[in-house]
Amino acid sequence: MVSKAGLVMIAAASVFALPSAGAQAAWRQVYADREVRVLFDTASATLSSPGVWTTVTSWDYTRPRFLENKKSYTRLVERVHIRCSPVRVKRVRSTVYGANNAIVRDEGEVDIRDQAAMAWDQPRRATAAASAFNSVCNVLARKPVKKATTRTSSGTR
């Protein structure tokens, strides 16, 4: 039996979960082909330093892909630092999901001290990654700036 307080909480949650009429969808498709669909979380994008954005993308594959341990996955969600002129990325966290969105592997976030030493990768030309990250940069160019909060190496704020 549901208590009166429980019903009030459910009703309040459903009201706050509704998007406002003028709000833009947080996840925006930035690339799609026969093999992959890439979504970009516009709500979580933050300017972490001048010219460098921290972004989250979701890569949904039409066919299973396999890790080196032979486990399959169909979704990759990654946090990336991105510079847009020219496009360069640092992949700082990746999580892969299999059937029913079960986590197959979560690499965890690269320590902030190690991120500074990481190389900026250029996505290979004429690939899904190059197209997707170029589209992300086009979206970011029109996005109002939201500064990132500072994190310590332990991940706390």
Q: What is the reported pLDDT for 89?
A: 97
Q: What is the reported pLDDT for 54?
A: 96
> Hey, what amino acid is at 150?
T
H or E stretch including 27? Answer: strand 27-32
Structural domains of the chain in order of their starting residue, each with its CATH number: 22-141 (2.40.128.710)
3-state secondary structure 119-156: CCECCCCCCHHHHHHHHHHHHHHCCCCCECCCCCCCCC
* Tokens at 39, concatenated: 């979504």
Structure pTM? Answer: 0.75
**9-62 tens-digit pLDDT:** 333 333 333 343 445 568 999 999 999 999 999 999 999 989 999 999 999 999
Distance between start and end Cα atoms, the chain: 40
Task: Report the alpha-carbon distance of residue 24 to residue 20 in Å, rounded.
Answer: 9
Return the number of other C-beta atoms located less than 10 Å from residue 82's C-beta: 23
Q: Would you say 151 and 157 are in contact if contact means Cβ atoms under 8 Å apart?
A: yes
